[in-house]
Chain A
Amino acid sequence: MRFDNARSGIAPEEVAETNTALALSGSWKVVVLNDPVNSMSYVVLVFRKVFGFEENKARIHMLEVHEKGRSVVWAGLREKAELYAFTLQQWHLTAVLESDEAH
């Protein structure tokens, strides 16, 4: 169904703002990608440090990265996901953001 802004009485600016708000509030995933350099113990340490994971959980995610090439380590609001991705990049891990809607 086509959304008719004129009939809805909502100004385009308001629609744009709403779309932005939705993009920011939707669910975003923080995905760590495999790299052949950083050691398993290092990746476990980083997951424990950044996310506060218990060692076993950090190890599970590390093995997932190692074996499957990627692991979703966190999901939630965009702003927070960006902060996590940034922090992981500070630790020189390759981290990307993915929108839940993209998959």
Chain B
Amino acid sequence: MKRIEVKLSLPVVAPLLDLMKASSDVLQAQIAAPLTLEDIDADFRDEWRAELLAGQQEELSALMGLFDSDFFVNAVVAFDEDNAEIIVRACSALRLRLRRHDLRRLNDEQLESGGIDVDTLPERLRKPFMCYLFLATIQELIIQHLDAAILQGGSDESAQDEDSGEDEDDDGDDDDADDLDGKEGA
């Protein structure tokens, strides 16, 4: 099993954990990404929302679980095929929350360009921004080293099949006629 261990700087990461915990607590009751479910039947919508929330809670629990008492001893977090997917999703949820709440005063262009100098930020934005970057770094590490494990995992197999639907490719090419064929478990 492929496994990566990352040694973190305690003085840098420890101060971020309170904010991560606070954001995680909010996301126990709130979906991180905006939902547009107007078209969905009301009963089904509630079920849908509840299931998304339960999944999100599980993800956040896994992420926050990395920073247990052992972490404060050795400052190491480990990722493998068992936790890669759930951690990468949890990072996404937390980053969305930070963006919509703590970092709402920054504009999209600034955030997307990556050109923000932390030292130039107002004090109150520094920790959220560091946290935002830290979570992105975890995501990138996992995607870089464990993407194969995520792609081979089976949690989304239910969404893929071989016969229904067609891919809608706005570029008009025909390179995707078999997009869903033979990709189960991809």
- Chain B binds chain A: yes
Asked if B28 lies at the interface with its beta carbon under 8 angstroms from chain A, I say: no
**Is the Cβ of A92 less than 8 Å from the Cβ of B151?**
no
Partner of A60, one of B31, B171, B186: B171
Asked if A87 lies at the interface with its beta carbon under 8 angstroms from chain B, I say: yes
Number of A interface residues in the complex (CB < 8 A): 40
Residues in A neighbouring B111, C-beta threshold 8 A: 36-37
For residue A77, which residue of chain B has the nearest CB?
A: B164
Asked if B18 lies at the interface with its beta carbon under 8 angstroms from chain A, I say: no
Residues in A neighbouring B143, C-beta threshold 8 A: 41-42, 45
Asked if B87 lies at the interface with its beta carbon under 8 angstroms from chain A, I say: no
Docked Cα-Cα span, A97 to B168, in Å, equals: 13
Residues in A neighbouring B96, C-beta threshold 8 A: 35, 37-38, 92
Partner of B139, one of A39, A90, A97: A39
**Is the Cβ of B179 less than 8 Å from the Cβ of A57?**
yes
Q: Mark B126-155, 1 if CB is under 8 A from A, else 0.
A: 000000000010011001100100110100
Q: Mark A27-43, 1 if CB is under 8 A from B, else 0.
A: 00100000111110110
* Closest A-B pairs by Cβ, 4 of them: A76-B165, A52-B183, A36-B108, A52-B186
Residues of A within 8 A of B (CB): 29, 35-39, 41-42, 45, 48-53, 57, 60, 64, 71-77, 80-84, 86-87, 89-94, 96-97
Residues of B within 8 A of A (CB): 31-36, 39-40, 48, 51-52, 55, 88-89, 92-93, 95-96, 99, 108, 111-112, 136, 139-140, 143-144, 147, 150-151, 153, 156, 158-161, 164-171, 175-176, 179-180, 183-184, 186
Besides the known contacts A41-B140, A86-B159, A89-B52, 9 further A-B residue pairs in the complex with CB atoms under 8 A apart: A36-B111, A42-B139, A49-B153, A74-B166, A74-B167, A75-B168, A80-B161, A89-B35, A91-B92
